[in-house]
Amino acid sequence: MSSIEDVAAAIRSLRPRKVVAFTGAGVSAESGIPTFRSAGGLWRNFRAEDLATPEAFARDPELVWEWYEWRRQLIRDAEPNAAHLALAKLDDALVVTQNVDGLHLRAGSHEVVELHGNIFRVRCTREGTTSDAPGELTEMPPRCACGAMLRPDVIWFGELLPDDAVARATQAMREADLVLVIGTSGVVYPAAGLVALCRGATVEINPQASALASGCTYTIEETAAVAVPPLVDAILESR
Ligand code: BV8
């Protein structure tokens, strides 16, 4: 386990050119969005793995949409925190996120790979076409103009990730000088397997060591909003 100061000093001497930020639910925790595995992550005692599946949607689409609309409202009422805003200052870095909350984009990050989709987009269950749906849903479940049900444009458990997102994340991880691993438990695959592709330095920022900690060059047991801004400053100072 390292201190923020020690890792910032290491970054200043490393002078990283290609930086990737790999983020999970923990980066949005200080924006008031409950993580999946924290106590607040349960909705009506359902685990995410119970509701974020094609089977759950087929069984009870209204229930699944109620859960998504509950999360969408939480996220609408939230603001990007100091970690999101600091990462947005790295305009040539790539953010590879497991989060569907869109807070990195709202913070101003331009290069963002949403591995698991975005909760404010919908997809037609018949045509597969996607469209933005930021506003409150007027009907549950919402329907496409073609009459078919709409589903959230997210990747559910048991579903394959978008090829282009995986390809872009894989290439960036392979070429990275530095990967910041922020607020993920590192248990959901194939996302968690991306960090090991990095041949440069990896820094975990997480109050509790994740399943990825042992494979990281440095681990900082701090929250994202506390640790990410000084590390971003160190990257910018090294330029
Ligand atoms: C697939 C979108 C092919 C929906 C999500 C290999 C081994 C084992 C299992 C599998 C495997 N390969 C595939 C699987 C199955 C499964 C899987 O990984 N299961 C896990 C649970 C064991 N993977 C899949 O199904 C994937 N698809 O593999 O397809 C296939 C097909 C058929 C059969 C087999 C294979 C699809 C996975 C994507 C699912 N969709 N989200 C939605 O959001 O509604 S996953 C969802 O959960 C999130 O996107 C995220 O990825 C994950 C939650 O993880 P984290 O983000 O890490 O959050 P978590 O709460 O766990 O941890 C938070 C961390 O933050 C903690 O460590 C905490 O300490 C820290 N923290 C808290 N506060 C702070 C903080 N850190 C910093 N600052 C703070 N303030």
pLDDT tens for each residue of 100-148: 999 999 999 999 999 999 999 999 999 999 999 999 998 999 999 999 9
What is the structure's pLDDT at 46? Answer: 77
* Residues near 89 by beta carbon (within 8 Å), at least 6 away in sequence: 232, 236
pLDDT tens string 171-226: 999 999 999 999 999 999 999 999 999 999 999 999 999 999 999 999 999 999 99
**Euclidean distance between CA atoms 41 and 38, whole angstroms:** 5
Q: Are 56 and 63 in contact (CB under 8 A)?
A: yes
Tokens of 204: 């975990």
**What's this model's pTM, rounded to 2 decimal places?**
0.97
pLDDT of residue 47: 80
Letter for the amino acid at 167? A
Q: How many angstroms is it from 186 CA to the middle of ligand 1?
A: 7
- Mean pLDDT over each residue of the chain, to the nearest integer: 96
Whole-number pLDDT of residue 84: 98
Residue 96 near ligand 1, beta carbon < 6 Å: no
Q: How far apart are CA 151 and CA 34, in angstroms?
A: 22
Give the model's pLDDT for residue 13: 98
> Which residues are part of the catalytic machinery?
116
Q: Is 84 in the pocket of ligand 1 (CB under 6 A)?
A: no
Average pLDDT estimate for 34-42 = 72
The proportion of the chain whose per-residue pLDDT surpasses 90, expressed as a percent, equals 92
- For residue 188, report the distance from its CA to the centre of ligand 1, in Å: 3
102 lines ligand 1 (CB under 6 A): no
